[in-house]
Amino acid sequence: MNKFLVCMIVSMITHAAAQQPINVIPQPVRIKQSAGSFTLTRETTIGFNKPECRAAAEMLAKRLNRPTGFALKPQERTTSPVQININDVPDPLLATEGYTLAVTPTNVVISANRFAGLYYGIQTLLQLLPKEIEGAKIAATAWTIPSVTITDYPRFAWRGIMLDVSRHFFTKDEVKRYIDQISKYKFNTFHWHLADDQGWRLEIKSRPRLTSVGAWRVKRYGRFGENAPPKPGEAATDGGFYTQDDVREIVQFAQERNVTIVPELDIPGHSMAAVAAYPELSCTKDTTVRVDPGMHIADWDAPDGLKMLFDNTLNPSDEKVYAFLGDVFSEVAALFPGKYIHVGGDECYKGYWAHDPGCSALMKKLNIGNIEGLQGYFMNRVEQILKTNGKKLIGWDEILEGGISPEATVMSWRGVKGGITAAKMGHDVVMSPTTFAYLDYNQGETTVDPPIYSKLRIKKCYSFEPVPEGVESKYILGGQGNLWTEHLPTIRSIEYMTYPRAWALSEVFWSPMAKKNWEAFVPRMEAHFGRADAGAVNCSHAVYDAIVTSAMKHDTVRVFLDAEIPGVNIYYTIDETMPDNLSPQYTEPFDLPDGPITLRVVTYRNGTPIGHLITLKREDLAARAGR
Ligand code: ACM
C-alpha cells in the first residue's frame, strides 16, 4: 500500500471517529467534540474519589454490566480510566445538578458538586454509548464513547412529569419503570396524582376504607366517560393501591435517581372515591355514590359552567372533614420527604355546597361573599394542616380564585394565564399548560391514533417557553408535562403518549433557551427512537405522519397537507387507489372535486415509505373544517 493511501485511510478513520454522532437529549449547555473515542472493555476500571460517589459509580456499573456482559466493579481511587468525582472545591456554575464530562481516547471523567450532577453526567455518558446499552440482553458491539467535553446544568429547578394513577392503576414496578425512564431525560420531579373520582390509590392507615372501598370500581371495557354505571350489588374488582411500604420503596427508588415525588390528593372536588368510602365527608352524604368506572359523571360545558351529576366534593363547612384531612395529610407528610404536597383544587363543582345549610351558615358567619370564597376558606384550612406537618401547598390554578396565601405555589394548567396572574401576585409557579404540556392529548392524526378530546403535536411542545413575557423569571420554578390516563390503561400506552413529547419538554426545561432548535432536535429525537426500541420503551412515531387540515370555501373542501419534520415528502390520491411515491406529490393546497371523494395520503423519506396511510372521506374533511 503506498504512503498516500495509508494516510488517506488513517485520516478517514480519524474523521469517521470524530464524526461519531452525538445525540444527547436534553441538549447540554456546552458540548465540544474532538477526534477519537474511548472504548469500554471488560478490563476498564471505574473509580470514585469519595465515599459519597459510591452510589453513582455503582449505578453506572450496573447500567453498563447488563448489556455489555462485563463485571465492572467500582473502587475508591482517583486514577481509573473511568472516574466519577465529587469536586473538592464546589464549582458554582454547576450548582446542585450540574456536571462536567470529559471523554478522551484514554479517560472518562464525570465531575459534579453533588450526587444529582453525577447522576446526570452518567445519563449523558450512557446516551453517548451505542443504543444497545439500553437493552436487557448482552449485545456484541463496540462500546465506544466519542471524545467530548461537556459542561451542563439545568435552566429550571422544577422539571416535572405528572402521572395519573387514579383513572388507571399502574403497579409499583410500572411506576418505578416510569420514574427510571423520565430520570434518564433529567426530569427531577414526579407528580403522582394519587386520588381522583375513579380511585384512591394510597393506603391511609387511619382511614382504611379509602383503599378497601375507594381503590376499587366495577370493571368496564368501554370508552372512558361513556361506561355504564355500577349495577346494584355488582362487585368492584378493578383497581389497586399502593401500601405504605410500596410508597417507601418507590420514594427511595426515585431518590436514587434524583427524583422528588410530589404526591397529589385532589380535593375538594374530584373526590368521588373518597366520598364512596366515607359518604359523611360530602354535603349530600349520599350513600349511593360509588367509585366512578368511567361513566358520564359531569356536563363539562353546561350553561352555567361545569355541572357534576354526582356529589364528588368534600364539605367545606364540616369540622369532621378537616379532622379527616389532618389525619390523612399527617400520614402523607410522613411518607414523602419532599417539601410539597399537591392538593388539587381544580374543577370543583360548587352546586352541592350552594344548597347546603351548613355551607350557607358558614358563609354568613365568616362573611364570605361568594361560593369561590368557600373554596378559598377550605384551601386555607388545608394549607394550615400542611404547615403543621412541615409541608408547602401546591395546587392547580383554581386555588387563586378563592384567595390563597402568597406562600402557596400555583400550577398553571388552563393555559399560562393563571401562572402569569399568580407570578404577578408573587406566588411561585410551575407552568404545565394544556396548550404545550398535556401529554394525554392526541399527538398525531386522529384517524390513526385513538382520538382524545384535544390535540398537541410535539413541535408545539418543543416551542413551549415557560417564562411568559412580562413575568419575573424568579417566580417560575419550571415546568411539567401532565399525563392523565382516562384513555390509557397500560404501561405501553402511557409510554406511547409520553414519548417523544417528554423528550421535547426535557429540552424546554433543561437546556438554555439559545440552544433550542426544532430542526436540530429532530435527528436527536430519531436517534432516541432507536434507543427506545432497544430498551423496549414504546413511543409514538406520529412525527412521520402527514398533518391533514381542511377549510371550506363556499361548498368546496380545500385540503392542506403538512409535514411536522423536515425531509418528509407527501403523496396523495383522490381516485380510489393506494398512493405511493409516484402518485401526485403535495406542493400546495388543493380543492377536492365534487363527488364522493376519498383522500388517501402517505409520506416518504429518501424514497422509503414512512408513517401511516391516512384515509379521509369528503365528509370527514368537511367536518374537520367545522362543517
Ligand atoms: C386538570 O387538568 N384538571 C388539572
Atom of ligand 1 nearest to the CA of 396: 4
Give the Cα separation of 50 and 410 in Å (integer). Answer: 39
Atom of ligand 1 nearest to the CA of 270: 3
pLDDT of residue 303: 87
Query: 373-393, pLDDT tens digit by residue?
Result: 999 999 999 999 999 999 999
3-state secondary structure at position 259: coil
pLDDT of residue 418: 96
CATH architecture of 16-152: 2-Layer Sandwich (3.30)
Strands (E), 64-143: 75-76, 82-86, 99-103, 108-112
Give me the catalytic one of 91, 180, 347, 372.
Answer: 347
Catalytic residue list contains 197: no
Does the structure show a pLDDT above 60 at 9? no
Query: 153-208, pLDDT tens digit by residue?
Result: 999 999 999 999 999 999 999 999 999 999 999 999 999 999 999 999 999 999 99
Give the Cα separation of 572 and 104 in Å (integer). Answer: 50
Give the Cα separation of 314 and 349 in Å (integer). Answer: 10
CB hemisphere CA count around 289 (13 angstroms) = 30
**Smallest Cα–Cα separation from 524: which of 10, 203, 131?**
131
Catalytic residue list contains 319: no
Confidence bin at 222 (pLDDT 50/70/90): confident
Residue limits of CATH 3.20.20.80 in the chain: 158-540
**Smallest Cα–Cα separation from 611: which of 572, 560, 559?**
572
Query: 80-131, pLDDT tens digit by residue?
Result: 999 999 999 999 999 999 999 999 999 999 999 999 999 999 999 999 999 9
Average pLDDT on 557-568 reads 97
pLDDT of residue 19: 60
Residue limits of CATH 2.60.40 in the chain: 545-624
Atom of ligand 1 nearest to the CA of 347: 3
pLDDT of residue 5: 45
pLDDT of residue 86: 98
Residue limits of CATH 3.30.379.10 in the chain: 16-152
Bridge partners (DSSP) listed for residue 431: 412, 479
- Domain 545-624, what fold? Immunoglobulin-like (2.60.40)
CA torsion, points 121, 125, 128, 132, in degrees to nearest 10? Answer: -130
Does the structure show a pLDDT above 60 at 442? yes
CATH code that applies to domain 158-540: 3.20.20.80
Does the structure show a pLDDT above 60 at 586? yes
Average pLDDT on 237-250 reads 98
Burial class (CB in 10 A: 0-12, 13-18, 19+), 460: middle
Decide: 347 in ligand 1 pocket, CB within 6 A: yes
Decide: 413 in ligand 1 pocket, CB within 6 A: yes
CB hemisphere CA count around 233 (13 angstroms) = 0
> Ligand 1 centroid vs 412 CA: distance in angstroms?
9
Testing ligand 1's pocket by substitution, the residue of 343, 347, 410, 435 carrying the most ligand atoms inside 8 A of its CB is 347
> Ligand 1 centroid vs 266 CA: distance in angstroms?
10
Q: Considering the chain, what is the average pLDDT of its residues?
A: 95
Strand order in the sheet with 75-76: 30-39, 144-152, 99-103, 108-112, 82-86, 46-48, 75-76
Confidence bin at 18 (pLDDT 50/70/90): very low
User: Which residue, by CA, sits nearest to atom 3 of ligand 1?
Assistant: 346
Decide: 119 in ligand 1 pocket, CB within 6 A: no
Testing ligand 1's pocket by substitution, the residue of 396, 417, 453 carrying the most ligand atoms inside 8 A of its CB is 396
Average pLDDT on 436-457 reads 94
Query: 274-331, pLDDT tens digit by residue?
Result: 999 999 999 999 999 999 999 999 998 888 888 999 999 999 999 999 999 999 999 9
pLDDT of residue 15: 47
Decide: 441 in ligand 1 pocket, CB within 6 A: no
Atom of ligand 1 nearest to the CA of 438: 2
pLDDT of residue 6: 44
User: Which residue, by CA, sits nearest to atom 2 of ligand 1?
Assistant: 413
Query: 32-78, pLDDT tens digit by residue?
Result: 999 999 999 999 999 999 999 999 999 999 999 999 999 999 999 99
Burial class (CB in 10 A: 0-12, 13-18, 19+), 346: middle
> Ligand 1 centroid vs 413 CA: distance in angstroms?
6
Does the structure show a pLDDT above 90 at 540? yes
> Ligand 1 centroid vs 163 CA: distance in angstroms?
12
> Ligand 1 centroid vs 264 CA: distance in angstroms?
12
Catalytic residue list contains 342: no
Looking at the chain, how many residues does it have?
627
Decide: 346 in ligand 1 pocket, CB within 6 A: yes
Give me the catalytic one of 191, 270, 342, 612.
Answer: 270
Give me the catalytic one of 196, 264, 311, 445.
Answer: 196
Average pLDDT on 411-427 reads 97
> Ligand 1 centroid vs 82 CA: distance in angstroms?
45
pLDDT of residue 13: 46
**Smallest Cα–Cα separation from 565: which of 516, 608, 514, 605?**
605
